Amino acid sequence: MAEKPSLKKKLLPLLLTAFVILADQLTKALVVKYIPLYSPFNENSIIPLLGDFVRLIHVRNKAVAFSIGSSLPLETRRILFSFIPLAIIAFVFVLYFRHNEFTGLQRWAICGIIGGGLGNLIDRFFRPAGVVDFIDCYFFGLFGLERWPTFNVADSAVVVCGILFVLTFIVQAKNESPDTTRQKEASL
């Protein structure tokens, strides 16, 4: 059985949550202030960073990933994309503090996911025009996409930390496989 982590070990990763929210909201504020809302007729609405590979572009998303749900009525979107995710984040937060089996890396990953989720929820509650997205990447025509859907810092944190979280479970399962257990028992 794993040792129960101290409160300090549970609180420290919340620094990542705060950092993600701060970085997300700061970059969004800068985009809103300095980059005009995208229009194909406005040359200043796209700023190349790495040529055509990575660009900054100011767009608003009133739906979720890949603009799924953008045609739903406003009140339905508000419930589906604001209040349900808020309830899920609250549930994950409670689980985070009650569950003692997470590794340190898993705790950091969870806190990155929570930070990203809260970063986008802040936009959903306080930016009626939609979530600010601004990172636009070339996608080589993979999956029929010339460019990946525009995203932001919060989205990046959710994806990167989500992948890291899943990988930690895969590694953990591999380390606890029956072959590994037999090898440990044989060495005793």
Query: Among candidates 31, 12, 3, which has minimal Cα distance to 111?
Result: 12
Active site residue 52: no
Q: Check 24, 133, 136, 179 and give the catalytic one.
A: 133
Q: How far apart are CA 26 and CA 81, in angstroms?
A: 22
At 45, list the tokens: 């609405």
Kindly give the residue spans of alpha helices, DSSP state H, lying in the chain: 7-11, 14-34, 74-78, 84-98, 104-126, 153-175, 178-187
Alpha carbons 117 and 154: distance in angstroms, whole number: 7
Q: Which residues are catalytic?
A: 133, 155
